[in-house]
Amino acid sequence: MLIASQKKKENIAEYLLYMWQIEDLIRAYKLDIDAINSGIVEKFDQPAEIKKEILGWYESLIDMMRREGVAESGHLQLNKNVIIDLTDLHLRLMKSPKEPFYSAEFYKTLPYIVELRSKAKDKVKGEIETCFDALYGVLMLRLQGKEVTPETQQAISQISRFLAVLSEKYKQDRNNELDL
């Protein structure tokens, strides 16, 4: 909760990847709030009232995951909404003659997106979600101590640069500082 709210303000891409990680963490704890409390919440160096808020946040996420049918896999609607918002912004940026740098960054990334989509089982995902899937997949590989090939690392570096630009544009848009 504390980390999520900070990331949401500062970097929407980091926020979304963090929230996907939280979804998987909740699944790893089998949606058991008592296990999450003892394994996660109680380890926070926070006052009791903050721990109570954090526990409530996890409880609400568990409830949403059950109601939305994503207890086993998939993403919460609140996280899907972030992808929708980023995709909408991406499309506006691509149409804007005032954003040649953004378009150039996207076109540098596009070959990697095309390659990833050709290998994916779910071919209906958009470009932005494909980028996040790639970053999250590599994050999971690293957490498992698995090797990331130089080719994959090159793709991830470009995708990261692109999403960093999109995240900055998102922040500007939220602060009404973006003139398209």
Q: Quick check: 142 pLDDT over 80?
A: yes
Q: Determine the pLDDT at residue 6.
A: 85
- For residue 14, is it within any domain? yes
- For residue 72, is it within any domain? no
Q: Determine the pLDDT at residue 89.
A: 98
pLDDT bracket for residue 4 (50, 70, 90): confident
Final residue of a structural domain among 67, 91, 115: 67
Give the lowest-confidence range in 33-47, 118-132, 157-171: 118-132
Q: Quick check: 2 pLDDT over 80?
A: no
Q: Determine the pLDDT at residue 75.
A: 96
Q: Cβ(60)–Cβ(145) under 8 Å?
A: no
- For residue 88, the enclosing domain spans 77-174
Structure tokens at 179: 């003139």
Instruction: Mark whether 83 and 170 lie in a shared domain.
Output: yes
Instruction: Mark whether 88 and 151 lie in a shared domain.
Output: yes
Question: What CA–CA distance (Å, rounded) separates 45 from 51?
Answer: 9
Final residue of a structural domain among 21, 46, 67: 67
Question: What CA–CA distance (Å, rounded) separates 130 from 112?
Answer: 10
Question: What CA–CA distance (Å, rounded) separates 162 from 170?
Answer: 12
Instruction: Mark whether 55 and 113 lie in a shared domain.
Output: no
Instruction: Mark whether 152 and 95 lie in a shared domain.
Output: yes
- For residue 180, is it within any domain? no
Final residue of a structural domain among 48, 67, 86: 67
pLDDT digits (tens, 9 = 90+) for 71-117: 999 999 999 999 999 999 999 999 999 999 999 999 999 999 999 98
pLDDT bracket for residue 121 (50, 70, 90): confident
Instruction: Mark whether 108 and 156 lie in a shared domain.
Output: yes
Instruction: Mark whether 118 and 142 lie in a shared domain.
Output: yes
Instruction: Mark whether 51 and 85 lie in a shared domain.
Output: no
- What's the mean pLDDT in 145-169? 96
Structure tokens at 104: 């150039």
Q: Determine the pLDDT at residue 123.
A: 66
pLDDT digits (tens, 9 = 90+) for 39-78: 999 998 999 999 999 999 999 999 999 999 999 999 999 9
Q: Determine the pLDDT at residue 59.
A: 97
Instruction: Mark whether 60 and 101 lie in a shared domain.
Output: no
Q: What's the number of domains the chain is made of? A: 2
Instruction: Mark whether 62 and 92 lie in a shared domain.
Output: no
